[in-house]
Structure 1
Amino acid sequence: MIFTERLILRGPQAGDLDDMFAIYSDPRAMQYWSTAPHESRAVTKRSLEWRLNDWHSRKTYFQIELDGRLIGNAGNHVDNEVGFILHPDHWRKGIITEAMGAIIPFLWANTDHTELTADADPLNTASVGLLTSLGFTETHRAKGTFCIDGA
């Protein structure tokens, strides 16, 4: 668990389902995500179950809690890639900057990563700007890296 000025960054809990569904079913939050918005709690439940299992071995992708409520996720979720998602009600409040500002030093201290990467749609200027502010630099662009519902 990591504590910041406003946030608790913690592992997933079975009781996170409703808050996770609120995030992952919101088309605004999912606009640049690698999957379509979740159409049912069953889809989100599978994601939560995967996170619960993954947490036991890796403990690097955190639930973001603010005032007792789960509002997003951030951290290292696969290989050396970091990512984040936040419920739109909390955009533009510095939440991800605060979370990643704590998570990145945690990853350097607690993993064997020699580099961290992130994948962001160039049209998602908010995320690209945030990554730049965290010290990331663009290395390349690729087309067709995600396929959602056959498109």
Structure 2
Amino acid sequence: MTTLTSKTADPVLVTARLVLRRPASGDLDDLFAIYSDPRAMRYWSTLPHDSPAVTSRSLDGMIAQTPLTYFALDLSGRVIGCAGLYRDEEVGFILHPDHWRQGYVTEAMNAIIPYLFATTQVPHLMADIDPRNTASAAALTALGFIETHRAKRTYCIGGVWSDSAYYALQRPYT
């Protein structure tokens, strides 16, 4: 069950296990633990963060976003990941490896997707993933996304090229 609360000006989505909220400056240590972990960043579009200062710059952008479309995934007061509208129509999610394969991304995105369609004018949502990232592909498919196409050599991260698989989810008709 997803509920929307508004103790502050920002919407907060609450699922069975998570509070989905605006990232805050106090989340820096939790986010650095995620963004500096090579396992979490294996299929990300940048190298792992080598210092908290790099994560702090990313966090500043997350905090400044208006309206709120990219959420911190708060589990019992600790941020275990982020998910939501990454840019334009593109969704993204990242999760600390200690929390992989427990359904947190699907749970969060099942709350975030209806929120995004209700509060934005995006005609569809899309995702760009490394095709080797089978866990993300499975999560997107479970959420109703359909793979639309693939492209070769789309990202060069640390001198290594990777490909992209693109997924789309159409806005539901109401």
Higher relative helix content: 1
* TM-superposed deviation, 1:149: 2.8
| TM-score (normalizing by structure 2) | 0.84
Separation of aligned partners in 2, 1:144 and 1:20 = 28
1:1-151 equivalence runs, <5 A: 1-54=12-65, 57-151=66-160
How far the C-alpha of 1:150 sits from its partner, in A, is 3.8
Q: With structure 1 as the length reference, what TM-score do the two structures score?
A: 0.96
Structure 2 counterpart of 1:32, which letter? Y
Give the drift of 1:2. 0.4
Alpha-carbon RMSD? 0.8
Q: Which has the higher contact order (CA 8 A, sep 6+)?
A: 1
The alignment partner of 1:144 has SS state of strand
Q: Distance in 1 between matches of 2:154 and 2:67?
A: 25
> Could you say which structure has the higher strand fraction?
2
Distance 2:137 2:86 in 1: 18
Kindly name which structure, 1 or 2, has the bigger radius of gyration based on alpha carbons.
2
Work out the CA distance in 1 between the residues paired with 2:95 and 2:29: 14
C-alpha distance in 2, partners of 1:61/1:132?
20
Q: Provide the rounded CA distance (Å) in 2 between the counterparts of 1:149 and 1:123.
A: 17
Runs of 4+ residues over 4 Å off in structure 1: none
* Percent of aligned pairs with the same amino acid: 62
